[in-house]
Structure 1
Amino acid sequence: MRIYTRSGDKGQTSLIYGQRVPKNDVRVEAYGTCDEANSTIGVALSHLRKEDLADKDAFMQTMEKIQTILFHVGAELATPKGKDVTWKLKQEHIDDLEQQIDTWDQELDPLKNFILPSGHEASAALHLSRTVVRRAERLAVTLEDELNNPLVVSYLNRLSDFLFVAARYVNKKLSGKEIPLHPDV
Protein backbone atom coordinates (compact mmCIF):
# COMPACT_ATOMS: atom_id res chain seq x y z
CA MET A 1 0.00 0.00 0.00
CA ARG A 2 1.38 3.40 -0.97
CA ILE A 3 1.26 6.33 1.44
CA TYR A 4 0.29 8.77 -1.26
CA THR A 5 -2.82 8.33 -3.39
CA ARG A 6 -3.02 11.72 -5.12
CA SER A 7 -6.78 11.65 -4.46
CA GLY A 8 -6.51 14.70 -2.19
CA ASP A 9 -4.44 16.86 -4.53
CA LYS A 10 -7.43 19.07 -5.37
CA GLY A 11 -8.41 19.80 -1.76
CA GLN A 12 -10.88 16.96 -1.23
CA THR A 13 -10.70 13.97 1.11
CA SER A 14 -12.87 10.98 1.92
CA LEU A 15 -14.78 10.40 5.10
CA ILE A 16 -15.35 6.87 6.32
CA TYR A 17 -17.76 5.23 3.81
CA GLY A 18 -16.21 7.25 0.98
CA GLN A 19 -18.16 10.51 1.01
CA ARG A 20 -15.90 13.24 -0.50
CA VAL A 21 -15.69 16.56 1.32
CA PRO A 22 -13.40 19.60 1.17
CA LYS A 23 -10.35 19.30 3.41
CA ASN A 24 -11.49 22.38 5.31
CA ASP A 25 -14.87 20.82 6.16
CA VAL A 26 -15.59 21.16 9.90
CA ARG A 27 -15.77 17.37 10.22
CA VAL A 28 -12.25 17.06 8.77
CA GLU A 29 -11.08 19.86 11.05
CA ALA A 30 -12.56 18.02 14.06
CA TYR A 31 -10.98 14.63 13.41
CA GLY A 32 -7.75 16.29 12.27
CA THR A 33 -7.62 18.15 15.57
CA CYS A 34 -8.02 14.84 17.42
CA ASP A 35 -5.06 13.56 15.42
CA GLU A 36 -3.09 16.67 16.37
CA ALA A 37 -3.96 16.18 20.06
CA ASN A 38 -2.86 12.56 19.81
CA SER A 39 0.49 13.68 18.40
CA THR A 40 1.02 16.23 21.17
CA ILE A 41 0.31 13.54 23.77
CA GLY A 42 3.00 11.46 22.04
CA VAL A 43 5.42 14.37 22.39
CA ALA A 44 4.60 14.60 26.10
CA LEU A 45 5.22 10.88 26.55
CA SER A 46 8.54 11.12 24.72
CA HIS A 47 9.72 13.47 27.49
CA LEU A 48 8.91 10.81 30.08
CA ARG A 49 10.68 7.87 28.50
CA LYS A 50 13.91 8.44 30.43
CA GLU A 51 12.39 9.85 33.61
CA ASP A 52 12.22 8.07 36.95
CA LEU A 53 8.48 8.37 37.52
CA ALA A 54 7.52 5.88 40.23
CA ASP A 55 4.41 4.70 38.39
CA LYS A 56 5.75 5.32 34.88
CA ASP A 57 4.56 2.01 33.40
CA ALA A 58 1.00 2.52 34.64
CA PHE A 59 1.06 6.18 33.59
CA MET A 60 2.31 5.30 30.09
CA GLN A 61 -0.29 2.53 29.71
CA THR A 62 -3.04 4.94 30.74
CA MET A 63 -1.84 7.56 28.26
CA GLU A 64 -1.46 5.04 25.43
CA LYS A 65 -5.03 3.86 26.09
CA ILE A 66 -6.13 7.51 25.88
CA GLN A 67 -4.29 7.85 22.56
CA THR A 68 -6.05 4.77 21.20
CA ILE A 69 -9.46 6.02 22.31
CA LEU A 70 -8.71 9.46 20.86
CA PHE A 71 -7.88 7.79 17.54
CA HIS A 72 -11.28 6.07 17.64
CA VAL A 73 -13.01 9.35 18.56
CA GLY A 74 -11.47 10.79 15.40
CA ALA A 75 -12.95 7.88 13.45
CA GLU A 76 -16.37 8.61 14.95
CA LEU A 77 -15.99 12.23 13.85
CA ALA A 78 -15.03 11.02 10.36
CA THR A 79 -18.16 8.89 10.06
CA PRO A 80 -21.16 10.56 8.38
CA LYS A 81 -24.44 10.80 10.28
CA GLY A 82 -26.46 7.60 10.18
CA LYS A 83 -23.52 5.33 9.40
CA ASP A 84 -22.16 2.67 11.75
CA VAL A 85 -18.71 2.69 13.30
CA THR A 86 -16.88 -0.49 14.24
CA TRP A 87 -15.76 0.94 17.60
CA LYS A 88 -18.03 3.16 19.65
CA LEU A 89 -17.21 5.47 22.53
CA LYS A 90 -19.06 4.43 25.70
CA GLN A 91 -19.90 6.11 28.99
CA GLU A 92 -17.36 3.83 30.70
CA HIS A 93 -14.57 5.62 28.79
CA ILE A 94 -15.66 8.92 30.36
CA ASP A 95 -16.03 7.23 33.76
CA ASP A 96 -12.46 5.90 33.47
CA LEU A 97 -11.18 9.44 32.86
CA GLU A 98 -13.06 10.74 35.88
CA GLN A 99 -11.74 7.95 38.09
CA GLN A 100 -8.15 8.67 37.06
CA ILE A 101 -8.64 12.42 37.53
CA ASP A 102 -9.91 11.79 41.07
CA THR A 103 -6.99 9.45 41.86
CA TRP A 104 -4.30 11.86 40.69
CA ASP A 105 -6.06 14.91 42.11
CA GLN A 106 -5.89 13.43 45.63
CA GLU A 107 -2.09 13.70 45.46
CA LEU A 108 -2.07 17.32 44.27
CA ASP A 109 -2.13 20.54 46.24
CA PRO A 110 -5.44 22.37 45.87
CA LEU A 111 -5.37 25.15 43.30
CA LYS A 112 -5.60 28.67 44.69
CA ASN A 113 -4.85 30.50 41.42
CA PHE A 114 -4.82 29.83 37.75
CA ILE A 115 -1.51 28.32 36.70
CA LEU A 116 0.60 28.93 33.63
CA PRO A 117 1.41 25.95 31.39
CA SER A 118 4.97 25.29 32.52
CA GLY A 119 7.27 23.08 34.55
CA HIS A 120 8.62 19.78 33.34
CA GLU A 121 8.74 19.39 29.54
CA ALA A 122 6.17 16.58 29.68
CA SER A 123 3.86 18.71 31.78
CA ALA A 124 4.09 21.65 29.39
CA ALA A 125 3.38 19.29 26.47
CA LEU A 126 0.34 17.86 28.29
CA HIS A 127 -0.94 21.42 28.74
CA LEU A 128 -0.53 21.88 24.98
CA SER A 129 -2.46 18.65 24.42
CA ARG A 130 -5.22 19.97 26.68
CA THR A 131 -5.63 23.09 24.57
CA VAL A 132 -5.70 21.09 21.34
CA VAL A 133 -8.38 18.80 22.81
CA ARG A 134 -10.40 21.89 23.76
CA ARG A 135 -10.26 22.97 20.11
CA ALA A 136 -11.41 19.50 19.01
CA GLU A 137 -14.27 19.80 21.49
CA ARG A 138 -15.34 23.19 20.09
CA LEU A 139 -15.33 21.72 16.58
CA ALA A 140 -17.31 18.67 17.74
CA VAL A 141 -19.89 20.99 19.31
CA THR A 142 -20.26 22.63 15.89
CA LEU A 143 -21.08 19.16 14.51
CA GLU A 144 -23.30 18.13 17.41
CA ASP A 145 -26.43 17.64 15.28
CA GLU A 146 -24.46 15.51 12.81
CA LEU A 147 -22.72 13.25 15.33
CA ASN A 148 -23.67 9.60 15.58
CA ASN A 149 -22.58 9.52 19.21
CA PRO A 150 -23.34 12.42 21.57
CA LEU A 151 -20.71 11.11 24.00
CA VAL A 152 -17.95 12.46 21.73
CA VAL A 153 -18.40 16.01 23.06
CA SER A 154 -18.53 14.80 26.68
CA TYR A 155 -15.43 12.67 26.21
CA LEU A 156 -13.41 15.53 24.71
CA ASN A 157 -14.54 17.83 27.52
CA ARG A 158 -13.47 15.35 30.18
CA LEU A 159 -10.25 14.53 28.34
CA SER A 160 -9.13 18.15 28.56
CA ASP A 161 -9.76 18.04 32.33
CA PHE A 162 -7.82 14.77 32.49
CA LEU A 163 -4.86 16.28 30.62
CA PHE A 164 -4.83 19.30 32.94
CA VAL A 165 -4.63 17.05 36.00
CA ALA A 166 -2.08 14.79 34.27
CA ALA A 167 0.13 17.83 33.61
CA ARG A 168 -0.09 18.85 37.27
CA TYR A 169 0.57 15.25 38.37
CA VAL A 170 3.70 15.01 36.22
CA ASN A 171 4.97 18.32 37.60
CA LYS A 172 4.42 17.12 41.17
CA LYS A 173 6.08 13.74 40.64
CA LEU A 174 9.05 15.12 38.71
CA SER A 175 9.54 18.34 40.70
CA GLY A 176 8.42 20.57 37.87
CA LYS A 177 7.57 24.08 39.00
CA GLU A 178 3.94 25.19 38.76
CA ILE A 179 3.87 28.88 38.07
CA PRO A 180 0.79 30.68 39.39
CA LEU A 181 -0.79 33.39 37.29
CA HIS A 182 0.14 36.82 38.65
CA PRO A 183 -2.70 39.20 37.77
CA ASP A 184 -0.61 42.29 38.57
CA VAL A 185 1.66 42.10 35.55
Structure 2
Amino acid sequence: MKIYTKNGDNGRTSLLNGQSVLKTDDRIELLGTIDELNSQIGMAKVLADDELRERLTHIQKTLMFMMSGVAAPMKREYRFEESETQKLEGWIDATEDSFPRVKDFVLYGGCEESARLDVARAVARRAERRFRVVAQKFVADKKAMQYMNRLSDFLYVAARYADYKAENIRSEGVRQEVIRDILKEPHGSRRRIDN
Protein backbone atom coordinates (compact mmCIF):
# COMPACT_ATOMS: atom_id res chain seq x y z
CA MET A 1 0.00 0.00 0.00
CA LYS A 2 1.42 3.39 -1.02
CA ILE A 3 1.88 6.13 1.56
CA TYR A 4 0.15 8.71 -0.62
CA THR A 5 -3.60 8.43 -1.27
CA LYS A 6 -4.17 11.69 -3.22
CA ASN A 7 -7.35 12.16 -1.18
CA GLY A 8 -6.03 15.42 0.26
CA ASP A 9 -5.04 16.96 -3.06
CA ASN A 10 -8.19 19.08 -3.08
CA GLY A 11 -7.31 20.70 0.25
CA ARG A 12 -9.64 18.59 2.39
CA THR A 13 -9.14 15.83 4.94
CA SER A 14 -11.34 13.74 7.21
CA LEU A 15 -11.86 13.62 10.96
CA LEU A 16 -12.17 10.27 12.75
CA ASN A 17 -15.95 10.39 12.40
CA GLY A 18 -15.55 10.56 8.61
CA GLN A 19 -16.51 14.23 8.36
CA SER A 20 -14.70 15.96 5.49
CA VAL A 21 -13.20 19.32 6.46
CA LEU A 22 -10.80 21.84 4.94
CA LYS A 23 -7.17 21.44 5.93
CA THR A 24 -7.38 25.00 7.26
CA ASP A 25 -10.12 23.97 9.72
CA ASP A 26 -9.23 24.96 13.29
CA ARG A 27 -9.42 21.34 14.44
CA ILE A 28 -6.89 20.32 11.78
CA GLU A 29 -4.67 23.25 12.79
CA LEU A 30 -4.82 22.01 16.38
CA LEU A 31 -4.04 18.43 15.35
CA GLY A 32 -1.09 19.67 13.29
CA THR A 33 0.21 21.73 16.19
CA ILE A 34 0.00 18.78 18.59
CA ASP A 35 1.82 16.66 16.01
CA GLU A 36 4.52 19.35 15.72
CA LEU A 37 4.77 19.42 19.52
CA ASN A 38 5.20 15.65 19.60
CA SER A 39 8.01 15.94 17.05
CA GLN A 40 9.76 18.65 19.06
CA ILE A 41 9.50 16.52 22.19
CA GLY A 42 11.15 13.75 20.18
CA MET A 43 14.00 16.16 19.40
CA ALA A 44 14.38 16.96 23.10
CA LYS A 45 14.24 13.28 24.03
CA VAL A 46 17.42 12.56 22.06
CA LEU A 47 19.54 14.48 24.62
CA ALA A 48 17.56 13.59 27.75
CA ASP A 49 18.77 11.36 30.58
CA ASP A 50 16.94 8.10 31.23
CA GLU A 51 14.36 9.54 33.63
CA LEU A 52 13.43 12.50 31.45
CA ARG A 53 13.41 10.34 28.31
CA GLU A 54 10.92 8.00 29.97
CA ARG A 55 8.70 10.94 30.96
CA LEU A 56 8.87 12.50 27.50
CA THR A 57 7.98 9.16 25.89
CA HIS A 58 4.93 8.92 28.14
CA ILE A 59 3.96 12.48 27.17
CA GLN A 60 4.28 11.62 23.46
CA LYS A 61 1.89 8.68 23.87
CA THR A 62 -0.49 10.89 25.83
CA LEU A 63 -0.45 13.49 23.06
CA MET A 64 -1.30 10.83 20.47
CA PHE A 65 -4.30 9.84 22.58
CA MET A 66 -5.23 13.53 22.88
CA MET A 67 -5.22 13.86 19.08
CA SER A 68 -7.83 11.10 18.86
CA GLY A 69 -10.03 13.12 21.21
CA VAL A 70 -9.63 16.25 19.08
CA ALA A 71 -10.55 14.32 15.92
CA ALA A 72 -13.51 12.57 17.60
CA PRO A 73 -14.57 14.69 20.61
CA MET A 74 -17.90 12.93 21.10
CA LYS A 75 -16.36 9.48 21.63
CA ARG A 76 -16.21 8.65 25.33
CA GLU A 77 -13.19 6.36 24.93
CA TYR A 78 -11.09 9.43 24.03
CA ARG A 79 -12.06 11.46 27.10
CA PHE A 80 -9.02 12.77 28.88
CA GLU A 81 -8.19 11.62 32.40
CA GLU A 82 -7.33 14.17 35.09
CA SER A 83 -4.74 11.73 36.44
CA GLU A 84 -2.48 12.59 33.50
CA THR A 85 -2.41 16.25 34.54
CA GLN A 86 -1.77 15.22 38.15
CA LYS A 87 1.16 13.10 36.97
CA LEU A 88 2.64 16.16 35.25
CA GLU A 89 2.17 18.22 38.41
CA GLY A 90 4.05 15.59 40.40
CA TRP A 91 6.92 15.68 37.92
CA ILE A 92 6.99 19.49 38.04
CA ASP A 93 7.11 19.52 41.85
CA ALA A 94 9.81 16.84 42.00
CA THR A 95 11.96 18.66 39.44
CA GLU A 96 11.58 22.04 41.12
CA ASP A 97 12.54 20.51 44.48
CA SER A 98 15.77 19.10 43.02
CA PHE A 99 17.55 22.38 42.22
CA PRO A 100 17.48 26.11 43.02
CA ARG A 101 15.47 27.39 40.06
CA VAL A 102 16.27 30.91 38.87
CA LYS A 103 13.13 33.05 39.11
CA ASP A 104 14.45 35.88 36.91
CA PHE A 105 13.92 36.35 33.18
CA VAL A 106 15.60 33.52 31.28
CA LEU A 107 17.48 33.93 28.02
CA TYR A 108 16.91 30.61 26.25
CA GLY A 109 19.77 28.53 24.89
CA GLY A 110 21.81 27.84 28.01
CA CYS A 111 22.56 24.40 26.53
CA GLU A 112 21.29 22.33 23.62
CA GLU A 113 19.00 20.19 25.77
CA SER A 114 17.25 23.19 27.33
CA ALA A 115 16.99 24.89 23.93
CA ARG A 116 15.13 21.89 22.51
CA LEU A 117 12.85 21.73 25.55
CA ASP A 118 12.09 25.45 25.24
CA VAL A 119 11.12 25.09 21.58
CA ALA A 120 8.76 22.25 22.60
CA ARG A 121 7.35 24.47 25.38
CA ALA A 122 6.66 27.30 22.91
CA VAL A 123 4.79 24.88 20.62
CA ALA A 124 2.81 23.58 23.62
CA ARG A 125 1.72 27.18 24.32
CA ARG A 126 0.58 27.54 20.70
CA ALA A 127 -1.32 24.24 20.94
CA GLU A 128 -3.05 25.56 24.05
CA ARG A 129 -4.11 28.72 22.18
CA ARG A 130 -5.42 26.63 19.29
CA PHE A 131 -7.34 24.50 21.79
CA ARG A 132 -9.11 27.65 23.01
CA VAL A 133 -10.17 28.52 19.46
CA VAL A 134 -11.53 25.00 18.90
CA ALA A 135 -13.38 25.17 22.23
CA GLN A 136 -15.10 28.40 21.15
CA LYS A 137 -16.17 27.09 17.73
CA PHE A 138 -16.68 23.37 18.27
CA VAL A 139 -16.24 20.99 21.21
CA ALA A 140 -13.01 20.55 23.19
CA ASP A 141 -12.09 18.43 26.18
CA LYS A 142 -11.45 20.81 29.11
CA LYS A 143 -9.21 18.28 30.84
CA ALA A 144 -7.08 17.98 27.71
CA MET A 145 -6.75 21.77 27.58
CA GLN A 146 -5.70 21.79 31.23
CA TYR A 147 -3.10 19.12 30.49
CA MET A 148 -1.66 21.20 27.65
CA ASN A 149 -1.29 24.18 30.00
CA ARG A 150 0.49 22.05 32.58
CA LEU A 151 2.67 20.42 29.92
CA SER A 152 4.20 23.77 28.98
CA ASP A 153 4.98 24.31 32.68
CA PHE A 154 6.68 20.92 32.88
CA LEU A 155 8.76 21.58 29.76
CA TYR A 156 9.82 24.95 31.15
CA VAL A 157 10.98 23.47 34.46
CA ALA A 158 12.73 20.59 32.68
CA ALA A 159 14.58 23.12 30.51
CA ARG A 160 15.70 25.12 33.53
CA TYR A 161 16.93 21.93 35.20
CA ALA A 162 18.89 21.09 32.03
CA ASP A 163 20.50 24.55 32.22
CA TYR A 164 21.34 23.96 35.87
CA LYS A 165 23.00 20.61 35.12
CA ALA A 166 24.93 22.07 32.18
CA GLU A 167 26.20 24.98 34.28
CA ASN A 168 27.41 22.57 36.97
CA ILE A 169 29.24 20.53 34.34
CA ARG A 170 30.87 23.68 32.94
CA SER A 171 31.85 24.86 36.42
CA GLU A 172 33.32 21.47 37.27
CA GLY A 173 35.25 21.52 33.99
CA VAL A 174 36.76 24.91 34.82
CA ARG A 175 37.62 23.72 38.35
CA GLN A 176 39.36 20.59 37.04
CA GLU A 177 41.28 22.68 34.50
CA VAL A 178 42.51 25.02 37.24
CA ILE A 179 43.58 22.04 39.36
CA ARG A 180 45.47 20.51 36.40
CA ASP A 181 47.23 23.81 35.70
CA ILE A 182 48.32 24.11 39.33
CA LEU A 183 49.64 20.54 39.36
CA LYS A 184 51.63 21.17 36.16
CA GLU A 185 53.25 24.34 37.56
CA PRO A 186 56.82 23.71 38.75
CA HIS A 187 57.30 24.36 42.47
CA GLY A 188 60.17 26.73 41.90
CA SER A 189 58.09 29.05 39.71
CA ARG A 190 55.54 29.76 42.39
CA ARG A 191 55.72 33.24 43.75
CA ARG A 192 57.20 33.35 47.22
CA ILE A 193 55.23 35.40 49.72
CA ASP A 194 57.29 36.97 52.50
CA ASN A 195 55.70 38.14 55.71
Q: What TM-score results when the alignment is normalised by the length of structure 2?
A: 0.80
How do 1:46-61 residues align onto structure 2 when only pairs under 5 Å count? Answer: 46-48=46-48, 56-61=49-54
Amino acid at match of 1:173: K
- Cα deviation, 1:11-67, whole Å, max 9, x if unaligned, reads 00111111110001110000110000000111111234xxxxxxx222211110001
- Aligned partner of 1:170 among 157, 162, 170: 162
Query: Is 1:13–1:21's contact at 8 Å kept on the other side of the alignment?
Result: yes
- Aligned partner of 2:66 among 69, 73, 96: 73
- Residue 175 of structure 1 aligns to a residue in which SS? helix
Amino acid at match of 2:150: R
| Residue 152 of structure 2: aligned partner | 160
Mind listing any 5+ residue stretches in structure 1 that lack a counterpart? 49-55, 178-185
Following superposition, the deviation at residue 68 of structure 1 comes to 0.7
Mind listing any 5+ residue stretches in structure 2 that lack a counterpart? 170-195
| Residue 41 of structure 1: aligned partner | 41
Q: Which has the higher contact order (CA 8 A, sep 6+)?
A: 1
Query: Is 1:120–1:170's contact at 8 Å kept on the other side of the alignment?
Result: yes
- Aligned partner of 1:121 among 88, 112, 120: 112
How do 1:11-26 residues align onto structure 2 when only pairs under 5 Å count? Answer: 11-26=11-26
Query: Is 1:105–1:165's contact at 8 Å kept on the other side of the alignment?
Result: yes
* Total equivalences in the alignment: 168
RMSD between superposed Cα atoms in Å: 1.8
Moved beyond 4 Å, runs of 4+: none
- Residue 21 of structure 2 aligns to a residue in which SS? strand
Amino acid at match of 2:40: T
Query: Is 2:85–2:147's contact at 8 Å kept on the other side of the alignment?
Result: yes
Q: What TM-score results when the alignment is normalised by the length of structure 1?
A: 0.84
Following superposition, the deviation at residue 111 of structure 1 comes to 2.8
The structure that has the greater radius of gyration is: 2
Of Structure 1 and Structure 2, which has the larger fraction of its residues in helix?
2
